[in-house]
Structure 1
């Protein structure tokens, strides 16, 4: 088998199936990453969504015993929405991050990797392969960096010279010993725009993220959001793009190369009030194909309530009162109570007081008290 020739064929085939960038890396253990992950764990900076076994995250041979190399792929996604709807004072809108605009990228990457696997196995029947994208054990960014896809930016994203950081990443471990590509030089230099712009200070320093403070992570949690983060979320329903938007390497980067990654504007930037009463079926029909739906409707609804409070949208008051009185979920009732206080419509006061008399959940009572306190601070 001529591995160099096979590598050229794989690269050529990858372009035919809509892979925007491909790189090859050795399957050696990621020693430096291992130490960084241990440190993150010690500091409590991990999100909890990651693979907990650091050995599996850093040693490809544990995932494929015969591992010799890793093929890394990247797909570019749009940074600008065509015909984006505008919110108004009577119809406020929320926002899903760009990585969740089109079809769930996990599915899109898996489709490309599946085709790549089939191509390899047809050429080399004895090949062994194992592919993953985002939810797999390996750290996508570390693989992409080693394979020369891009460099690891201070915003903890892989930044490519061609597409900036607006790329999805996936990889395939194989027993074929492909010649590795060279890593790309880090071009962040002395720039700290992403660190300076992070709304919650989650970027502790260049390349180090405290995921527990990251808005992208916080929008995906299901419980009550800590008070210090509630206003910082703004109108974000899922994810956060701030550290990408301020990055000079992303200036002018907007690629529309894959129809399935194009957003449905009404799903990517939906009206907030209708989200409050959306059924499970309606949620699945409208948002089910998006990556941002993976945690279900509850976090999205909670974030929609916070967004309405952010806008101080008085038209939402009757809807929030309904949630306070009727919703079975404590997080939704409590967040609605807080939001009513934040909006500052004093007509909500007797309703909050009545709810306090009948509420049995201690966490919700705490939120009702917060709402009442905020209303007490409203000037006549």
Structure 2
């Protein structure tokens, strides 16, 4: 088997199935990454969504016996929303980040990787492969950086010369020793715009992220959102794009290359009030195909309540009263109490006082007391 010919054939095939960029890397242990991950762990900067075993995250040989190389792929996604609905006083809107526009990118990339796997097995029946996207053991970013897909930006995203950082990443670990590609030179230079613009200071410094403070992570949590972050979240329902939108490398970058990634404007910027009472079935039918639905409706509903408070939406107060009286989930009742206080209707004080007398959950009671304080200031 001529490896150079096979590599060329893999590249050609990848283009034929709509892969926008492909690169090849060695399957050597990611020693530098290992040190960084250990430091992140010690500092408590991890999100908890990662693979917990750092050895698996940094040693491809633990995933595929006699791993020799990794094939990295990238697919470009849109950055501009066409025909975006306007948020009005009567119809306030939330926003899903760009990574949750269109069909769930995990599914899109897995389909591409499955086709690539089948092609490789057809060429070499004895090949060993393992594919992964986002939730796999390896760091997609570290693999893509080594494979020359792009450089690792200060915003902790891979930045490609062609598509900026608006790319989804995936990889295949294999026992075929493909010749590795050259990494791309870091081009962030002295630019620090992403670090300066981060709403919560989650970018501790260029290339170092405290995930516990990152809005993209916080929007996916299911408990009470710490109060210091509630103002920062604004109208975001899932994810955060600030560190991408301020990046000069992303200026003018907007690619609509994949039909399945095209966003439905009504789902990317949905009306907030209907989200408060959406059923599980309705949520699954409406949002189940987007990546932002993976944690279920509860975080989205909590974030919608915070967004309504951000807008100080008077028209939402009756809906928030209803949630406080009827919703069985403490996080929703408590967040609604805080939002009522934030919106600031004087007549809401009597309602919150009544709820305080009947509420049994201690966390919700604290939120009601906070809501009352906000009304009285």
TM category, shorter: over 0.9
Q: Could you say which residue in structure 1 is the equivalent of 2:58?
A: 58
Q: Could you say which residue in structure 2 is the equivalent of 1:297?
A: 297
Q: CA deviation at 1:365?
A: 0.1
Distance 2:137 2:63 in 1: 8
Q: Could you say which residue in structure 2 is the equivalent of 1:324?
A: 324
Q: CA deviation at 1:9?
A: 0.3
Q: CA deviation at 1:327?
A: 0.3
Q: Could you say which residue in structure 1 is the equivalent of 2:372?
A: 372
* Deviations 1:224-256, CA, capped at 9 Å, x for gaps: 010100010000000000000000000000000
Q: Could you say which residue in structure 2 is the equivalent of 1:179?
A: 179
Distance 1:374 1:32 in 2: 48
Matched, 1:28 2:28: yes
Give SS of 1:231's match. helix
Matched, 1:202 2:202: yes
Distance 2:347 2:282 in 1: 31
Equivalent positions of 1:265-284 (< 5 A) are 265-284=265-284
Q: Could you say which residue in structure 2 is the equivalent of 1:306?
A: 306
Q: Could you say which residue in structure 1 is the equivalent of 2:2?
A: 2
* Deviations 1:116-159, CA, capped at 9 Å, x for gaps: 00000001001110000000000000000000000000000000
Equivalent positions of 1:91-106 (< 5 A) are 91-106=91-106
Q: Could you say which residue in structure 2 is the equivalent of 1:119?
A: 119
Distance 1:96 1:346 in 2: 32
Q: CA deviation at 1:50?
A: 0.1
- Over the aligned positions, Cα root-mean-square deviation in angstroms equals 0.4
The runs of 5 or more residues in structure 2 that have no matched partner are: none
* Deviations 1:250-274, CA, capped at 9 Å, x for gaps: 0000000000000011111000000
Give SS of 2:232's match. coil
Distance 1:168 1:100 in 2: 11
Distance 2:169 2:210 in 1: 21
Give SS of 1:73's match. strand
Distance 1:70 1:278 in 2: 43
Distance 1:259 1:165 in 2: 19
Q: Could you say which residue in structure 1 is the equivalent of 2:170?
A: 170
Q: CA deviation at 1:376?
A: 0.7
Q: CA deviation at 1:339?
A: 0.2
Q: CA deviation at 1:109?
A: 0.4
Equivalent positions of 1:105-254 (< 5 A) are 105-254=105-254
Give SS of 2:25's match. strand
Q: Could you say which residue in structure 2 is the equivalent of 1:17?
A: 17
| 4+ long deviations beyond 2 Å | none
